[in-house]
Amino acid sequence: MAASLEKLVNELKVPPGRQIDLKVDFDPGYTGHIISKEDAQEQLVAGIQELAEGQDKLYAQDTYALFINLQAMDAAGKDSTIKHVMSGVNPQGVLVKSFKVPSEEELDHDYLWRNFLELPERGNIGIFNRSYYEEVLVVRVHPDLLERQKLPPRLKGHDIWERRYEEINNFEKYLTDNGIIVLKFFLNVSKEIQKKRFLERIDQPDKNWKFSAADVLERRHWDAYMDAYNEMFNHTSTSWAPWYIIPADHKWFTRLAVVSVINHTLDGLKLAYPKVSPEQKAALKKAKEEMEQEESGPAQPARIKKKRNR
């Protein structure tokens, strides 16, 4: 990966242990050293190719899993980022799960339960489109959601958020200690661009399905969300599972930034195809010889016929 992209990846990371302020430190319109959409497109193609190669090794090595968490305000581009960034990878090794308002059954469990069930297995990439992070975001912004959760009343006090941050950090530490690498992206869209994209969804018939009246109601809580996000970053960007804040006002930049962070992370794993032992090599040679002899050996249909007659 180009040194300029490595530098960019570093700039987008929320430094663990340091307090950040989303509004001051992260500009939704930032595009770094990328000067145009065309420039980004070229690098995106290369990035997607690199990701495909990384995924192939991840799958073959079957040791690590890559677990990607995506969070954002509505219309920040989560869906289209997934679509573009994953366009070159083998579908067999990727799973995307979208988390919605919890069902009755889900509310009968602890909040991590439904997430546990969807975690990627070794060799795979798992993408969570929203996740347990909603538990310190939407649930914090709307206290009635916490009321619906069947928690013992004494556990619903003000300290619940601090506890959840700690639980999440411990959960993610547990995952990384087991070879499940955790990556977290916040697609940082500005309030103005969200409005522009909402209006497009209303004005363009083929985009109408993407819009729900509830999205505008949520927009009214913008500042409360930003406060909740800020607190969340400052408590849950850890050395083992850092947050990356991805500028999301220019979709072409968002995609390139996300693919670069993923490639950077896979690079750090020093992935390699499994080494073949001398015994395995001998077995491969034997299998090859056997197949080469097949042409002159007994014809397969004769055996099948024999079985049928029994």
Binding site for ligand AMP (CB under 6 A): 98-102, 130, 134-135, 138-139, 145
**Shortest approach of ligand AMP to residue 116 CB, angstroms?**
14
Question: Looking at the chain, how many residues does it have?
Answer: 310
Smallest separation, CB 192 to ligand AMP (Å): 20
In sequence order, the β-bridge partners of residue 188 are 247
CB nearer ligand AMP, residue 101 or residue 117: 101
Considering the complex, state which of residue 83 and residue 286 has its C-beta at the smaller distance from ligand AMP: 83
Which residue has its beta carbon closest to ligand AMP? 134
Two structure tokens written together for 1: 């990966």
Binding partner at 199 among ligand AMP, Mg ion, none, C-beta below 5 to 8 Å by kind: none
As separate numbers, helices (DSSP H) first and strands (DSSP E) second, the chain gives 15, 5
Toward Mg ion, which CB reaches closer, 46 or 138?
A: 138
Number of residue whose CB is nearest Mg ion: 74
The nearest distance, CB 56 to ligand AMP, in angstroms, is 30
Residue 211 C-beta: closest distance to ligand AMP, Å: 10
Query: Based on CB atoms, which residue is closest to ligand AMP, 99 or 165?
Result: 99
Of residues 197-226, which lie at the interface with Mg ion (CB under 5 A)?
A: none
CB of 102: closest distance to ligand AMP in angstroms?
5
Please say whether the beta carbons of 266 and 60 come within 8 A: no
- Residues 142-171 contacting Mg ion, CB under 5 A: none
Q: 310 contacts which partner out of ligand AMP, Mg ion, none, CB within 5 to 8 A by kind?
A: none
Of 44 and 232, the one with the shorter C-beta distance to ligand AMP is 232
Q: Considering CB distances under 5 to 8 angstroms, the limit depending on partner class, which of ligand AMP, Mg ion, none binds residue 102?
A: ligand AMP
DSSP result, 31-99:
-TT---HHHHHHHHHHHHHHHHHHHHHHHHH-S-EEEEEEEESTTSSHHHHHHHHTTTS-GGGEEEEE-
Q: Name which of residues 40 to 99 contact Mg ion (CB under 5 A).
A: 74
Determine the straight-line distance between the first and last CA of the chain, rounded to whole angstroms. 62
Q: Which one of ligand AMP, Mg ion, none interacts with residue 247, CB within 5 to 8 A by kind? A: none
Half-sphere exposure of 117 (CA within 13 A, CB side): 9
Least CB distance from residue 140 to ligand AMP, whole Å? 10
Find which of Mg ion, ligand AMP, none residue 126 binds, CB within 5 to 8 Å per kind. none
* Distance separating alpha carbons of residues 233 and 245, to the nearest angstrom: 9
- Identify whether the C-beta of residue 268 lies closer than 8 Å to the C-beta of residue 262: no
Cα dihedral sign for 219, 223, 226, 228? negative
Element holding 182 (H helix, E strand): strand 180-188
Question: 61 vs 99, which CB is nearer to ligand AMP?
Answer: 99
Shortest Å, Cβ 134 to ligand AMP? 3
For 220, which DSSP code? T
Of 52 and 145, which CB lies nearer to ligand AMP in the complex structure? 145
Q: Which is nearer to Mg ion, 61 or 98 (CB)?
A: 98
User: In Å, how far from its chain's centre is CA 7?
Assistant: 21
Q: What is the DSSP letter of 274?
A: P
Are the CB atoms for 132 and 168 separated by under 8 Å?
yes
- C-beta separation of 25 from 244 below 8 A: no
Chain contacts with Mg ion (rule: CB under 5 A): 74
